[in-house]
Amino acid sequence: MLILVGLGNPGAKYASNRHNIGFMAADVIHTRHRFPAWRKNFQAEVSEGVIDGERVLLMKPQTYMNESGRSVGEAVRFLKLAPSDVVVIHDELDLPPGKLRMKVGGGHGGHNGLRSITSQITDGYRRMRLGIGHPGDKALVHAHVLSDFAKADRDWLVRLLDAIADNAGELVKGADATFANRVHAVTEPKPERKPKADAKTDGGPAALAAAAPAEPPPKNAMAAILKSLLAQKTKR
């Protein structure tokens, strides 16, 4: 069994904060893989389902970020799992917005959620680090992580969360490098090569049609989840 833990702070006040990108990723995985309704257990919202034939427990600790370890530790001990059976999804200041990196072990880098989890289950768990960028000044970090994503962030954020959900099967296999590469291929696709101009083209209707931009791809259904989260700040 694998535990996928999305980190964040509970409540509408924090729902669209940068610090809550882990909760957002858990929500998209939950919807994409048709997990049952969230329920309360282990001081968290949890939902158990199957991804590519493997049992997965999705968790969103409700202890607030700084005490996330109490929730994760309780689940790990009850289910008799090893730290390596846990993937923690969290925001990462030291990565540019939209970047994803996988990591096993290591320090907490000042992230209080990771610090709390390490204190409960050691640092041997897997981390999915989701870049939110650094404000450039240490004094601004607190306000940065607890502020909402901007409208300009929505395109890359939806693309990133969709790619995570689409490729979650690689996570349950333990293929972290493959998972990261596949997400990267979606979030940072290589630019298409432009076809060379044909000297025989007369510039007629056929040439104009070929040069016309392609229709934009249909809007992804997962954008609805993000839209709902980001809309909450207008209701507060």
Please list the pLDDT of the chain residue by residue as tens digits (236 residues).
999 999 999 999 999 999 999 999 999 999 999 999 999 999 999 999 999 999 999 999 999 999 999 999 999 999 999 999 999 999 999 999 999 999 998 888 779 899 999 999 999 999 999 999 999 999 999 999 999 999 999 999 999 999 999 999 999 999 999 999 999 999 987 666 666 655 454 445 444 444 444 444 444 545 556 656 655 554 54
What is the CATH T-level fold of the domain 2-189+220-230, as seen in this structure? Rossmann fold (3.40.50)
Q: Which residues contact 5 (CB under 8 A, 6 or more apart)?
A: 22, 26, 59, 60, 61, 68, 72, 86, 87, 88, 89, 117
| Number of other CB atoms surrounding residue 76 within 10 Å | 22
What is the reported pLDDT for 106? Answer: 85
Q: How far apart are CA 28 and CA 64, in angstroms?
A: 20
14 annotated to a ligand binding site = yes
Q: Is 66 annotated as a binding residue?
A: yes
Look up the pTM and report it: 0.82
To the question of whether residue 17 is assigned a binding role by annotation, the answer is no
What phi, psi does 190 have (nearest 5°)? -70, 140
Active-site residue list = 19
Which are the contacts of 59, defined by CB distance < 8 A and separation ≥ 6?
3, 4, 5, 6, 26, 42, 44, 45, 46, 71, 72, 75
What pLDDT is recorded for position 188? 84
Residue 72 CA, distance from chain mean position: 18
Runs of H (alpha helix) within 8-150:
21-32, 68-79, 112-121, 141-145
Q: Tell whether 125 is in a known binding site.
A: no
